[in-house]
């Protein structure tokens, strides 16, 4: 699995690209970080999935 630090680096890159929004809070004394996909992030994800599906389809029909 990925470490917290590794995930944090990737999440920051997605946040910097405008694909996710980050909200930090506490539940009692425990820090909590929530991420939300932005509209731009959803569009990018949909483009990526469509591209991957097209590649899979192309490989199946070879």
| 3-state secondary structure string across the chain | CCCHHHHHHHHHHHHHCCCEEEEEEEECCEEEEEEEECHHHHHHHHHHHHHHHHHHHHHHCC
- Per-residue confidence (pLDDT) for residue 47, from 0 to 100: 98
Name the band, by pLDDT with cuts 50, 70 and 90, for residue 54. very high
The whole domain housing 17 covers 4-60
Kindly report each contact of residues 7-13 with a partner whose C-beta sits within 8 Å and lies 24 or more positions away, as own/partner: 11/35
Whole-angstrom Cα distance, residue 39 to residue 34?
Answer: 16
pLDDT score of 15:
98
- Bridge partners for 3 per DSSP: none
Number of domains within the chain = 1
Answer with the residue of higher pLDDT: 5 or 57: 57
pLDDT at position 1 over 90: no
- Specify the CATH number for the domain of residue 13: 1.10.10.10
């Amino acid at each position: 699995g990925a470490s917290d630090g590794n995930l944090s680096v990737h999440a920051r890159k997605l946040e910097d690209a405008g694909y996710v929004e980050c909200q930090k809070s506490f539940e009692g004394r425990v820090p909590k970080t929530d991420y939300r996909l932005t509209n731009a992030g959803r569009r990018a994800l949909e483009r990526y999935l469509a591209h991957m599906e097209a590649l899979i389809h192309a490989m199946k029909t070879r």
